[in-house]
Chains A and B, each alone.
Chain A
Amino acid sequence: MTDAPAPATASASAMQRRVRQEEQVAELCAGVVRALSGERDLHFRGRRLHRGRVALPWFAPHLHPSPEIDDFASFRGVADGLALRLTASDAALHESLRPGDPVERMLFEMFEQFRAEAMVPDIMAGMRRNLRHRHEQWSLAFHHSGLTDTARGLLLYAVAQICRARVSGQQVVEETEDMLEATRFALAPLIGHQLAGLRRDRADQAAYAVHALSIARTVAAMLHEAGGESEAARDPHVDDKRSVFSLVADMDQEIIERFTTAESGRSAVLDDAGGAYRVFTAAYDREHDAAALARREVLAGHREKLDRRIAAQGVNIARLARELRALLADPTRDGWDGGQEEGLIDGRRLAQLVASPTERRLFRTERMEPAADCIVTFLIDCSGSMKEHAESVAMMADVFARALEQAGAASEVLGFTTGAWNGGRAQREWVRAGKPAHPGRLNERCHIVFKAAATPWRRARPAMAALLKADLFREGIDGEAVDWACARLRQRPEARKLLLVISDGSPMDSATHLANDAHYLDHHLRDVVARQEQRGDIEIAGVGVGLDLSPYYSRSHVLDLATSTGNTIFREVIDLMAGRHRR
């Protein structure tokens, strides 16, 4: 959250590490799912598997592990389960068979997932272990969270255990085996016949579904009967666990995001307005040149500090420029092709002519070197919580501006913040106007140009140091800033345009939130990014500082500014530019 007081650096860097770790796991899992399923455009966004821009269905409760409690092997099992679900189950057929009743639907989804997981190829021993491991973890977590203490929970648990054991041919989880006896005994006459069918028809989705639907109907009826005592499950200290396996039947609702993933939701106000974003007043919006924001002596002091930081970072600018050139322009090793039969005489080969008069390949031709026809904009979130990262971010932007210049590409460094806290003059004007409902954005927007594309890096040096000016950092209105940066990019002649948004949180402006609703600004940001990505002339990527920005940007990456020195973070940003982090 952007206006929260900055936590102690130690815990902040621990959190950054955790978020990065989470991202790495998600990337590995996505990679495995892509390879196993052979589908290219699968990736995780905000912990949910997406195909392209579309979120895939929930499938089953055990496919939603949480990094706080589940180990890596569990995530592996989930990835394998997802891949099998995509390859071994026909989604269209499944869709046509799904029952309408929510509880039945949840059970049916779960049974289909069991079937898909039973289809694991014999050769994949590791996959089988991962799936088994995930099942055990999930079962034990379900059991230990007290959900099996109620009749409903126990029934649901027993059905899941028995069906999976039957379909996969594996044992039920040992620890809870005795607990199941009574339920198993009660269920046997009701669903025994269908259970045998599950096993028999596990290779035939349509035939399997007949049995699965029948069991789902029987069990749903039993759950409704036992429904009277669901209050026990609403016990407050059970409640936090319930999010892990929501017994909620409606699996298509939005995930409840945790704080490490950018908070993002739909805004009722924006939805009602048909997505039309409003600005209450633009009278106080400003665009500043960073160099004018502070006295020259102050900037010089900041610049010295920044230069010391860059020196300490030990970054190899020449190499960075080479990598950027390789990425943004067609790389050429040298400007000459030797050994030609025509062209300019190559002096180094004249001796060859003397030694062997028939040698005719004595010429060289000049190879044209393509310039990097490209511009990269760094749009820096200058909201309050970014203050602690200011030096690292300034260092990154400064080094990149320099390296891009060496590589022959243009660069812009822009920032966005607000001119005041809590809405400033715009908010006071709104109060004077009698607080009309849903005023839209309510603050003095402030955009800062640290380095324009036309300014060479050497000339922009003092202005870049203004990033270290602590009183710049107030609140953040991301959506408008992205639009502004894109508009500036579109005025540039360069053929290829990249925009990197460096941010540590969702848009935050307290006055706007109070006057509209909590998701007004981030809903707008998502709309803006989706619209700009749709246009396709600008490649947009989000660089999260200790926060996963994947809900907003289809290309994003989490950086850990606290611990990396050397070239690591630069390499990661380059990978992001190259589209190698596809989350």
Chain B
Amino acid sequence: MLSVREVFGIDTELQVPAFSERDDHVPEVDAVYRFNPDVTLAILAGFMRDRRVMVQGLHGTGKSSHIEQVAARLNWPCVRLNLDGHISRLDLVGKDAVVLREGQQVTEFQEGIVPWSLQRPVALVFDEYDAGRPDVMFVIQRILERDGKFTLMDQNKVLRPHPFFRLFATANTVGLGNLNGLYHGAQRLNHAQIDRWNIVASLNYLPAGEEIAIVQARVPSLAGDAGRTLVASMVAVADLTRKGFAAGDLSTLMSPRTVITWAENVEIFKDPALAFRLSFVNKCDDAERPLVAEYFQRCFDQELKESHELSGPRE
């Protein structure tokens, strides 16, 4: 048993079970990882009580890595599967394949990822759950229920899940499709599916203090007080882009990942403005750049090249 307070730095009395051995499938521990209390508790509930947990959030907020890092600290084997629009039933369940056995060609059933992990103490993570085609997703309808047995029709076999099998999913949307234009290819999911996830944890952008700490942890050269002021300004710009996105002024926004990239580029180029242009401004629509330059001016008291002040009116 591990104490949640010691391992994850969350103020609670919880104790969680953990494996004592690590095997190949256990992810690497990232020592500087910062856990978001709510989401971490939701994921821990999934591990402890066998609940189906879906983590929903905008891109770059650390949905998958949260699950991975929890698993890493519990020594829990973890398999991540990226669902894309072309993943099919056969990929998940398995299919007959021709194999050589004693010089003879025989057809033999090769099980897919779902039956494989179902029989092992594995946490199976469906990444980009909302990119999967809804009709394919019904394959896992049964195993979403606790103790849900899984029937392999081609084999006439019924699989019982291993007591330490766990299932997680991450998604950008909650199955309502591409509502805000950010997530092309997001499918509208069947609500009976969404309904079977016991816990939906939402991981959207973090409080500024958290985000600053994360960026500083990732980019050691910006640690300390001097770096903190710079990172705080960077996070302030990111926050303005998110609000600008929410108001419909921008069609892109800065995820925490973008801020980290920016910080890394500051390390390389030694110039926040240049690094900002390379990591974010150049990804924006031309028409939106002057506004981004305004945001930057507010936080850094410097002009970007794209600024209205320097470039004058756009013809």
Contacts and interface: CB of A to CB of B under 8 A. Distances in A.
A124 B299 contact: yes
B215 to A, nearest CB: 14
B291 A358 contact: no
A40 B248 contact: yes
A35 B313 contact: no
Given A73-B309, A123-B233, A358-B96, A40 B298 contact: no
Contacts of A130: 297-298
Contacts of B301: 125-126, 128-129
Interface string B224-259: 000001001100100011011011110000000000
A66 interface: no
Nearest to A20: B313
Interface size class of A (residues with CB under 8 A): 35 or more
Contact of B88 (A127, A341, A357): A341
A125 B308 contact: no
B88 A76 contact: no
Given A35-B247, A38-B246, A360-B90, A72 B309 contact: yes
Nearest to B91: A361
A91 interface: no
B196 interface: no
Interface in A1-54: 17, 20-21, 24-25, 28, 31-32, 34-36, 38-40
B295 interface: yes
Interface string B277-307: 0000000000100110011111111100000
A32 B309 CA distance: 14
A30 to B, nearest CB: 8
Nearest to A30: B249
A28 B288 CA distance: 9
Interface size class of B (residues with CB under 8 A): 35 or more
Interface stretch (A152-160, A536-544, A560-568): A560-568
A560 B313 CA distance: 12
A458 to B, nearest CB: 33
B182 interface: no
Looking at chain B's contact residues, the main secondary structure is: helix
B89 interface: yes
A21 B299 CA distance: 24
A185 B246 CA distance: 50
B291 A31 contact: yes
Interface string A100-129: 000000000000000000000101111111
Given A17-B313, A28-B308, A126 B88 contact: no
Contact of B298 (A24, A126, A563): A126
B95 interface: yes
A17 B249 CA distance: 23
B313 A21 contact: yes
Contacts of B48: none
A32 B246 contact: no
B313 A126 contact: no
A238 B89 CA distance: 81
A25 B290 CA distance: 10
A357 B98 CA distance: 9
B298 A36 contact: yes
A31 B294 contact: yes
B157 interface: no
Contacts of B88: 341, 360-361
Contact of A34 (B96, B243, B297, B300): B243
B90 A76 contact: no
Nearest to B309: A72
Contacts of B295: 32, 35
B97 to A, nearest CB: 6
Given A17-B313, A72-B308, A38 B243 contact: yes
B101 interface: no
Interface in B10-53: none
B315 A123 contact: no
Contact of B291 (A32, A40, A361): A32
Contacts of B244: 31, 34-35
A39 B249 CA distance: 12
Contacts of A80: 298
Most chain A beta carbons < 10 A, residue from B95, B287, B299, B308? B308
B284 to A, nearest CB: 13
Nearest to B229: A123
A439 interface: no
Most chain B beta carbons < 10 A, residue from A123, A358, A568? A123
Contacts of B287: 575, 580
A229 to B, nearest CB: 42
B282 to A, nearest CB: 19
Interface string B74-92: 0000000000001011100
Across chains A and B, which 10 residue pairs bring their CB atoms closest together, nearest first? Answer: A126-B301, A125-B301, A34-B247, A21-B313, A35-B244, A35-B243, A40-B247, A35-B240, A126-B297, A126-B298
23 contacts: A24-B290, A28-B290, A28-B308, A31-B291, A31-B294, A32-B294, A34-B243, A35-B241, A35-B243, A35-B247, A38-B243, A40-B247, A40-B248, A76-B294, A123-B236, A124-B236, A126-B300, A126-B301, A358-B95, A360-B90, A361-B86, A361-B88, A568-B315
Interface of B: 86, 88-90, 95-98, 229, 232-233, 236, 240-241, 243-244, 246-249, 287, 290-291, 294-302, 308-309, 312-315
Given A80-B298, A358-B97, 6 more contacts: A17-B313, A25-B308, A32-B294, A35-B241, A36-B243, A560-B315
